[in-house]
Structure 1
């Protein structure tokens, strides 16, 4: 008998396999790529938590990976690359990846498949359904049909609606994202849950600036400390680094000594560096590349930024606030759950980066207001973003979904749990 692992009892799957739910579960996560982004780190946290709790965890990933995030994966988590699983739409590669996933799920005898991000979510859920996986969970880190073209919106909505009936649970990173999914007709309300993307809060609350901060900002030994702006984001189109540099002159004119620190890496980094040179911003803009000490960069900053046009509820905003730094961000679904204008930051219109630049300059010129917002940031209740709580809530959802599956199969007289309370 091949066993899975939890604490609920026994059931028989559609393949005739009996699951001992008092033991460990075999959980398979699927993500398109593993880079240093919020969704990727969220996935790694979820994998590590389950593995540390005694579950058998496998992480299937696409062809794009970065060694630094791979190194963060717990050694107990098995990493497997999936041929053809890429972020961009490619019919030939997508069909190849779909069949590769079906074979993997069958070979692994997965009890739960938990998919992440849009592309892996579509292919992974259909593959899990075809393989007869008992429980299929989809993590919604970003809504792919917001702030995109008409054709792209139609395609994603159509595919999401097709995948919804085979999805046992949706886990959104914010209430705003959940509400957008429901309004678009993606699944029933009782299948949707909100679990905030957790991280180590204490690491950010107790951080100090890097020891080499003067060298980082390219300052001479006797130069005064300038106002420091920080944006931590992968260099990809939806983060809008280039567009922000094009309006940064509004800040530079009013505060010529201000330094903008852009932390992160990605496919557009070299192009953004070239753009900064073309605009004559070599002195004002610092590119740090990937850093494994983001909390220390936040401790160095006076004001933190995010100008993405499409996100879920970006965990980096919570990291800014945990570090006691106010944030100026473009309006995003779910953002107002934690970023409160006039209390701990400023929210500007999504399609008006010039307004964002004006707001940044105004804040840096008003040190008293900036200090008040910093105090508000430090006082923000971020307990829902504790990494341990995230793991407990996801585990509770897994247990509920498996209990419902068992009840639906009629393998037990146990009454299904219909309104499970997530851990607080």
Structure 2
């Protein structure tokens, strides 16, 4: 197969990691794969991907709404697809999902597929919600299949008339389970925590998330002082990169407990950070089913997460983690302090995390399921349509 993946941004975040894992697996299986991304990207990540497959930057594809640039991006992507003649165009992220599917339609691509990593019309203002829903419904008319990261994503799409139930396929966002289950502390643990080499490890709270406003790092930093009041030696590690870094740095600088907070940026071995943590946290206001939650659990660490659609598919309150109300970041911070003070409860949740069945989040399972969807889409695209007239004469 000839496959083109289209992303709005190529940063170090969950949807990109999911997409790159699929790309690399498809290359290993002998497919011709092209990755297309917009003007916002991590140069080092792009260079590493380009070692395994061709990568094209679409400069006009930008994250904010921009009618003039969006029209250019549509034109340029259509030309690229006409030249490349793919069997499958698989789009990811909201802007690329709209422009990519429109371009694929204009280029007569037989297999048009959209990956639902997140829903852009949730937790936004009414004007943006109406606009996103209208756009999604238009391009859904010629989308052959949707690949949803969770059952909840699928159900919300269907409820909002974005595709029919039979078009949606739930495929969990896979990763190397063994890598997280068997991880050990990072060699630079003391440097990351700002402690002396001979000093015992203090309690560690980890938030592993791209630095984006929807992850609510700033709000969690602002709520962290009461945690330090109760556990003075606690250390908060914030691991990730992204456009909100200046805001996060500013929040740390004005925090009365800034000495207890460490922004360490991107880390190439997230599994080691998880092994170092006593409690893991995610306070996003909008996600699909975030893969980092499964990574926390695969590492055997209890996690505290604000309520998200689909979270109940894997995170069970009081069994392998704690779920707090969606809008209550302060409540998540209080839950962190409570859990750090209750070692027996923390150990019970950690055992629950280790026992969680994450089989369907394995990397091979994800890649195999995606390829199955591709083959199904191409088979249906080759089948002649049965019209009402031909049906009467059959």
TM bucket by the smaller chain? over 0.9
SS in 1 for 2:384: helix
1:65: how far off? 1.2
1:270: how far off? 2.5
CA distance in 2, matches of 1:162, 1:271: 36
1:142: how far off? 0.2
1:271: how far off? 2.3
1:280: how far off? 2.2
TM-score relative to the length of structure 2: 0.96
- The C-alpha deviation readout for 1:128-168, integer Å capped at 9, x for no partner, is 01111011000000011111111111110010011110100
CA distance in 2, matches of 1:315, 1:82: 27
CA distance in 1, matches of 2:245, 2:50: 29
For the Cα contact (< 8 Å) 2:225–2:256, is it kept in 1? Answer: no
CA distance in 1, matches of 2:25, 2:201: 41
CA distance in 2, matches of 1:75, 1:289: 24
CA distance in 2, matches of 1:85, 1:56: 23
**Structure 1 residues 83 and 408, CA gap change in structure 2 (3 angstroms):** farther
TM-score relative to the length of structure 1: 0.89
For the Cα contact (< 8 Å) 2:228–2:257, is it kept in 1? Answer: no
Q: Does the alignment pair 1:225 with 2:197? A: no
1:71: how far off? 4.4
Structure 1 stretches lacking a partner, 5+ long: 1-24, 411-424
SS in 1 for 2:141: helix
**Which of the residues 260, 272, 277 maps onto 2:236?**
260
1:281: how far off? 2.4
For the Cα contact (< 8 Å) 1:57–1:76, is it kept in 2? Answer: no
Structure 1 equivalent of residue 43 of structure 2: 67
How many pairs were matched up? 386
SS in 2 for 1:225: coil
**Which of the residues 105, 118, 121 maps onto 2:94?**
118
**Which of the residues 178, 182, 188 maps onto 1:206?**
182
For the Cα contact (< 8 Å) 1:51–1:74, is it kept in 2? Answer: no
For the Cα contact (< 8 Å) 1:44–1:72, is it kept in 2? Answer: no
Q: Does the alignment pair 1:154 with 2:145? A: no
Structure 2 equivalent of residue 374 of structure 1: 350
CA distance in 2, matches of 1:49, 1:72: 15
What CA RMSD, in Å, does the superposition of the two structures yield over aligned residues? 1.2
Structure 2 stretches lacking a partner, 5+ long: 387-394
**Structure 1 residues 373 and 68, CA gap change in structure 2 (3 angstroms):** farther
**Structure 1 residues 409 and 54, CA gap change in structure 2 (3 angstroms):** farther
Which structure dedicates a bigger proportion of its chain to helix?
2
Structure 2 equivalent of residue 278 of structure 1: 254
